[in-house]
Amino acid sequence: MQFLKEEARSGELVPVLLGFSKEALRASRRFYRKYGVLSHVFCSRIPVLFRFSLFLKFHKVRATRDEALMLQALLDFAWQLGNADVVLYLVPCAESYVSFVWTHRAELERSYLLADPKEMRRVWFGEDEEASE
């Protein structure tokens, strides 16, 4: 975690993506291209092809039916960055994680800026709400 504290600039966006999916891959590429930031992906397994990605940092969390392990991993991540002046932006990248985020919203909102459903679509698919109207 020390590398993030040293390299992140004050006020910088730190995308935290839940689950590795094509949506997470698209979102992380978009964050990297637009803001030049690394996305942190919390998932149960790390895909071999993306293990040494330039725009993804994986955090492996053992898959369990109990959501407490993922919640604790996210809270620990935020706690470790507590002194870094960054904005942790949490985006679920699979339906199961959407319900997880809204179930644990009270705990997560203390440390993270949460993407709402409209924002999730924009982040996942690059939809521009103004352009679609």
* Residues 4, 57: Cα–Cα separation, whole Å: 11
Q: What pLDDT does 64 receive?
A: 65
Instruction: State the residue range of the domain holding 34.
Output: 11-132
Instruction: Look at residue 3 and tell me if it is in a domain.
Output: no
Instruction: Find where tokens 């203390």 sit.
Output: 110
Q: Burial letters for 73-100: b for 16+ Cβ neighbours within 10 Å, e otherwise?
A: ebbebbeebeebebebbbbbbbeebbeb
pLDDT per residue as tens digits for the range 94-112: 888 888 998 999 999 999 9
pLDDT of residue 40: 93
Q: How many domains does the chain have?
A: 1
Please report whether residue 15 resides in a domain. yes
Q: Within a domain: residue 63?
A: yes
CATH number at residue 107: 3.40.50.720
Give the mean model confidence (pLDDT) for residues 29-44: 89
- Report if pTM > 0.85: no
Whether 84 is covered by a domain: the verdict is yes
